[in-house]
Structures are given as structure tokens and as C-alpha cells.
Amino acid sequence: MRVAIHGRTLELEQGDITQQAVDAIVNAANSRLAGGGGVDGAIHRGGGPSIMAETARRYPRGCPTGSAVITTAGNLPARYVIHAVGPVWGGGQAGEAELLASAYHRAFELSSQHGCRSIALPALSCGAYGYPVDQASRIALRVAKEFLEQDPVGELARFVLFGPGMYGAFAAALEELAF
Ligand code: AR6
């Protein structure tokens, strides 16, 4: 599914984010940048040890929830990996929505600052961190839309969703957003 925004493209695709040949892919990291399962596990497996070596060297104190840091992408087809830290879902009263929006926002900002025209993103916080996908997808797409509307560099934002359920939730949220 694809929509045009100010001549730029917002896309949804079902698949594996590590296979994306875009300028930057976004990792669903934790604040220690310690690696783990899900997207994070797949990125470090596919990219090789140079990514973890770089996060340890450049960001020894990790990355706060709601923010992101950038590294090269090792053996992956992308040029950069942007490690974004979404919130753990705790019921919605602990600022989760703001933190999720801010993690996406910072990831987009870093991609633009590094001259990336295309970026692929996962459903941050929607796996191990338990964020309800109907709510998370609206936040993710709103931030992506705002980015594409005003950023001078970004041309393509593609959400790469794992499985038909996650794709369907994002597709419903995208239809709901008025373009
Ligand atoms: N490509 C695209 N999406 C994927 C892939 C993939 N290869 N693998 C999983 N997903 P998660 P979180 C989907 O758990 O909730 C890690 O241990 C998955 O189905 O990766 O932000 C980190 O180290 C789900 O829809 O990220 C952190 O500790 C979405 O990606 C913690 O998990 C996000 O699931 C972060 O949890």
C-alpha cells in the first residue's frame, strides 16, 4: 500500500526489514543498546558484529527511551542502522504515546541529517514491548506523514511489517489518516 504526500511516498510492506535496500533501516532497540530478539536480533545477526562494536564505542551510555542513535549497517544492504528506543507498554498512562512519537521523530531527524532519502521502519514497541498495534500504528504514521510533509531530504518512508496481522493494522490506520 502506498500514498503520496507532497510528492513524497509513504509505503507499507509486509516483510523482513533486514532485506531492505534503502539508505537507512530503523532498529527496535533497547536503551542499553544491548541487542535482543525481534528486529534487533535479526539486524545484528544479518549485519554482523561491527554494528554492536560501533554502538559500544560511540554510545557507551546507551540511548534513552524516546530517542535514537545512528551507526553504519555492517553487511546489510542499507547504508545506516538507526537504533530507536520505543517505550515498554505499561497501560498508556506513563507517557507511552509521546515517547513512541518521539522515538520515530528522532529516527527521521537522524536520517535526514545523514542525507538519507529512503528509510524503512518497523512497528517500534509492538513486539516484546507490548504496545497495542492499533494505537501504535496511528502514531507511527502520523509522525511519518509530518516528516514527509516538511523534510527537505526524505523522499520515501516505508514501514516493513512482520506478518499479515501487523500489516493489516497499519493499513487500517493509513486509510483512517486523511491525506
Ligand atoms: N522485520 C520487520 N519486523 C520484524 C522483524 C523483522 N525482521 N522481526 C520482528 N519484527 P520487537 P519492540 C516485528 O520485539 O517491541 C528486542 O529484544 C515484530 O513482529 O522487535 O520495540 C530489543 O532488544 C513486531 O511487530 O521490538 C528490545 O529489548 C515489531 O517488529 C525489545 O525487543 C517490533 O517487535 C524491543 O521491543
- Total structural domains in the chain? 1
Q: What is the pLDDT of residues 24-35, one digit of tens each?
A: 999 999 999 999
* Ligand 1 contact via 167 beta carbon (within 6 Å): no
Annotated catalytic residue 40: yes
- The domain containing residue 113 runs over which residues? 2-177
Which CATH number characterizes residue 95's domain? 3.40.220.10
Cβ atoms of residues 55 and 37 within 8 Å: no
In this predicted structure, what is the pLDDT of residue 177?
86
* Ligand 1 contact via 33 beta carbon (within 6 Å): no
Cell matching residue 32? 542499553
Is residue 138 scored above 90 in pLDDT?
A: yes
* Ligand 1 contact via 136 beta carbon (within 6 Å): no
* Ligand 1 contact via 37 beta carbon (within 6 Å): yes
State the distance from the centre of ligand 1 to the C-alpha of 14, rounded, in angstroms.
Answer: 14
| Nearest Cα residue to 94 out of 69, 128, 65 | 65
Q: What is the pLDDT of residues 103-115, one digit of tens each?
A: 999 999 999 999 9
In this predicted structure, what is the pLDDT of residue 179?
60
Which among 16, 40, 134, 151 is annotated as catalytic? 40
Mean pLDDT in residue range 41-70: 98
Atom of ligand 1 nearest to the CA of 123: 29
Strands 118-121 and 80-84 turn out to be unpaired
Q: Which residue has the cell 504496545?
A: 131
| pTM exceeds 0.95 for this model | yes
